[in-house]
């Protein structure tokens, strides 16, 4: 789960990381009022969306007058900002963060991520801040500093000092840098975050270290331990297909193809995507219906898949162990009837109660194609989808 920049900065402050003063605004009038609260002669208006590269899309503006603040807010609110991270659909701006302007002397990149191969938190830092980490890796690979944290002892002061010195900071700033690095690690450890990124972390002209931008992401599976963090979720920034499925306990990831997939088991789901591509089609989603799926859960899975308007065919691939093929068949039949499904539908069942499941499908009288193997099922669904496309074109 991602959160907004202003929410991330509030959390950073709790762990001793300095951030500029700012306030949230939902209208141009409120944005101007925030300026009067902050005082000063320059402010930064920031669109709050779950994406980086907002500045390149016009989502970050430095303003010298209240009129400029109002104009920037008017332009951003209600607009869909498109960045390389949002995709062509963009993300809707429905709130702004008004922040005091900061005089910058140096920009630094500081990130904490979970390295799955090492099974450790890794600190990634660079004296070349302000760019995306991909750009830094490509353009300034020698500037990258990596430090692995031992989970048995956590981030130690000496380790944070080493990072600070490698960044080339003035010796007088080392204590503040150590406090910032330790604070970020504590945040990550104590909140079950899987990423903490400050880009840029700046040294101001008044010789202070300040987090100018921040991005936090949390492990969804650990949110039950942090109800206060769960409350920060903004569903308007999420893929509506994934939100619908996630709220119903389904493991769903939206893709860009035309063939919807309903599968049990993550490994089998991945194999199903590969087989659809090998057959000449493109999968529209990854969906793991889970073990012990009832007919009601199968129906919900169909609804989740059909929330994607690009879906033009569906493949159901079940290898039943904990599941039962007759339950799956009942759910498929119910879905076809209740949803008035007209698109190609191929069902491959194997495992527990497979004969009962196949008989239910055969006796249903519905337009459901069956297959005995995954390869056959993929070939059939792609073939029927292509035939339907040709028929519609003619």
Query: Is 336 strand, coil or helix?
Result: helix
Q: Please tell me which residue in 5, 6, 185, 197 is annotated as part of the active site.
A: 197
Confidence at residue 169, expressed as pLDDT on a 0 to 100 scale: 94
User: Do the annotations mark residue 353 as ligand-binding?
Assistant: no
The per-residue pLDDT for 374 is 95
pLDDT at 89: 84
DSSP string over 139-194: H-GGGEEEEEEPTTT-S-HHHHHHHHHHTT--GGGHHHHHHHHHHHHHHHHHHTEE
Which pLDDT value is given to residue 109? Answer: 94
pLDDT at 189: 95
Instruction: Confirm or reject CATH 3.30.470.20 for domain 104-230, answering yes or no.
Output: yes
Q: Do the annotations mark residue 66 as ligand-binding?
A: no
Listed as ranges, residues in the chain with pLDDT below 70 are: 292
Cα 122 to chain centroid distance, Å, stands at: 20
Residue spans per domain, the chain: 21-100, 104-230, 240-388
Instruction: Reply yes or no on domain 21-100 having CATH 3.40.50.150.
Output: no
Q: List the catalytic residue out of 109, 185, 244, 252.
A: 109
State residue 391's pLDDT score: 84
Please say if 197 is a catalytic residue. Answer: yes
Distance CA 225, CA 188 (A): 14
pTM for the full predicted model: 0.80
Is residue 192 annotated as involved in ligand binding?
Answer: no
Q: 240-388 is classed in which CATH architecture? A: 3-Layer(aba) Sandwich (3.40)
Annotated binding residue 142? no
Q: Is 71 annotated as a binding residue?
A: no
Q: Residue 250's pLDDT is what?
A: 87
Look at residue 307 in the predicted model and tell me its pLDDT.
Answer: 92
pLDDT in tens, 216-251: 999 988 999 999 999 999 988 888 888 888 888 888
Q: Is 376 annotated as a binding residue?
A: no
Do 21-100 and 104-230 share a fold?
A: no
pLDDT digits (tens, 9 = 90+) for 115-153: 999 999 999 999 888 777 777 788 777 789 999 999 999
- Quote the pLDDT of residue 187: 97
Distance CA 13, CA 154 (A): 20
pLDDT of residue 132: 74
The Cβ of residue 165 has, within 10 Å, a number of other Cβ atoms equal to 12
Q: Is 252 a catalytic residue?
A: no
């Amino acid at each position: 789960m991602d959160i907004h920049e202003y929410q991330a900065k509030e959390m950073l402050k709790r762990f001793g990381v300095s951030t500029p003063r700012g306030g949230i605004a939902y209208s141009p009038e409120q944005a101007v009022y925030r300026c009067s609260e902050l005082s000063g002669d320059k402010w930064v208006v920031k669109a709050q969306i779950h994406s980086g590269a907002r500045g390149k899309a016009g989502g970050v503006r430095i303003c010298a007058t209240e009129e400029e603040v109002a104009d920037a807010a008017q332009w951003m609110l209600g607009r869909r900002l498109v960045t390389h991270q949002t995709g062509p659909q963009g993300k809707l701006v429905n709130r702004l963060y008004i922040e005091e302007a900061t005089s910058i002397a140096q920009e630094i990149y500081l990130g904490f991520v979970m390295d799955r191969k090492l099974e450790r938190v890794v600190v990634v830092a660079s004296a070349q801040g302000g760019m995306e980490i991909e750009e830094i890796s490509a353009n300034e690979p020698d500037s990258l500093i990596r430090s692995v944290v031992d989970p048995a002892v956590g981030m130690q002061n000496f380790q944070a000092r080493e990072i600070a010195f490698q960044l080339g900071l003035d010796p007088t700033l080392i204590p503040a840098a150590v406090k910032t690095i330790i604070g970020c690690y504590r945040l990550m450890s104590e909140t079950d975050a899987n990423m903490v990124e400050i880009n840029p972390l700046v040294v101001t002209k008044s010789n202070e270290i300040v987090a100018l931008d921040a991005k936090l992401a949390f492990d969804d599976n650990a949110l039950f331990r942090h109800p206060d963090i769960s409350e920060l979720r903004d569903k308007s920034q999420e893929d509506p297909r994934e939100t619908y499925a996630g709220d119903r306990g389904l493991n769903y990831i939206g893709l860009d193809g035309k063939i919807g997939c309903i599968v049990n088991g993550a490994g089998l789901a991945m194999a199903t995507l590969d087989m659809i591509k090998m057959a000449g089609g493109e999968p529209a989603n990854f969906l793991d219906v889970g073990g012990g799926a009832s007919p009601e859960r199968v129906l919900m899975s169909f609804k989740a898949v059909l929330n994607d308007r690009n879906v033009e065919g569906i493949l159901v691939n079940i290898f039943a162990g904990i599941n039962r093929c007759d339950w799956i068949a009942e759910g498929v039949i119910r879905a076809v009837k209740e949803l008035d499904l007209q698109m190609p539908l191929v069902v491959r069942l194997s495992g527990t109660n497979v004969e009962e499941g196949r008989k239910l499908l055969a006796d249903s009288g519905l337009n459901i194609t069956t297959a005995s193997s995954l390869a056959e099922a993929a070939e059939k669904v792609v073939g029927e989808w292509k035939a339907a496309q040709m028929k519609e074109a003619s």
